[in-house]
Structure 1
Amino acid sequence: MGGKQSKKQTSTELTDKHIALLKANTKYDEKAIRDWHASFIRDCPTGRLDKKKFVEVYQQFYPTGKPDKYCKYAFETFDANNDGSIDFEEFLLAIAASGQGDLNDRLGVAFDLYDVSNDGTIDQKELSNLIIATYDLVGETDRKGDKDPKKRAADIIAQLDTAGDKKITRAEFIAGLKADPVLRQLLAPNA
């Protein structure tokens, strides 16, 4: 019983060691880290963000959309240790990487989101599924013609796949999105 209680305390505590790690891996100073932590604990008193709460947060930002599918992919990307929840460290590192890092880092986070199979490439099915999830998230209902997710995924892969293997590697993804701001806005709007 004592072990469970200390585990619970550790998950909500922000130690000097955690602060040092987060300062070393983000551009946040100690005050910003403490502010983020206070907000995180206010929203997640257990110190862990579960999938349900994660979807609720996205729903606030996209009130007319359906965030469930998109959140499934994003949650799995942010849950670095695959324990079914996001702790403060995972949360802040994901926020920092997707919003603070240099362009390559931010595009790398976007690539990780799309690489659902974790095989180091994005294929047409993965890309199509993420486009559908993104459409659902933002409430996009027009999915005909150029907006058809399968067609759009095929066109994007044809554009970015320099090796001709019908898959996009991390390097192809980053180089392609750096060269094409319109595509970057579509696939990695925060980058």
Structure 2
Amino acid sequence: MCYEGFIEMYPTGQLGQKTFTSICKTFDPDTDEQICGWDISEDGQLDQNELGCLISAMYDRARIKDRHGDNDPDERAKEIIKKLDINHDKKISKEEFIQGYV
């Protein structure tokens, strides 16, 4: 799912600094070290709905039209949270995002 899409785009499994920085800026556009760009609830974390909206926006930007099956934004959000949610609160904090990337 997410992993396969990532490997398709980055076969070595590595992101360059520019790409990683771009992803981080999506989560923290005002660079105050808080997830805020898509944090509708303003709790410093992303829940499944917020992450689904973020993924949809990324698809829009990349002009990805197929949003069914493995490309469904809500399903991708659910899988990402399942993999990165260390404290099992069904949300992703900045720390969990960083830990999941490492």
Structure 2 match to 1:117? 41
Whether the 8 Å CA contact 1:146–1:152 is kept in 2: the answer is yes
- CA deviations on 1:150-178 (whole Å, 9 max, x unpaired) are 1000000000001000000110011112x
Say yes or no: does 1:159 pair with 2:75: no
TM-score when normalising by structure 1: 0.36
Secondary structure at 1:173's aligned position in 2?
Answer: helix
Identical counterparts, % of pairs: 46
- CA deviations on 1:107-142 (whole Å, 9 max, x unpaired) are 653332343433111000110001111111111011
Q: Between Structure 1 and Structure 2, how many residues are aligned?
A: 76
**Deviating more after overlay: 135-144 vs 148-157:** 135-144
TM-score when normalising by structure 2: 0.64
Secondary structure at 1:122's aligned position in 2?
Answer: strand
- Unaligned ranges ≥5, structure 2: 1-16, 29-36
Q: Which has the higher helix share?
A: 1
Say yes or no: does 1:133 pair with 2:57: yes
Structure 1 match to 2:96? 172
Instruction: Give the root-mean-square deviation of aligned CA atoms.
Output: 2.1
Larger Rg: 1
Taking a change above 3 Å as real, the CA distance of residues 141 and 108 of structure 1, as seen in their structure-2 partners, is closer
The answer to which structure, 1 or 2, has the higher relative contact order (CA under 8 A, 6+ apart) is 2
Letter of the aligned partner of 1:109 in structure 2?
K
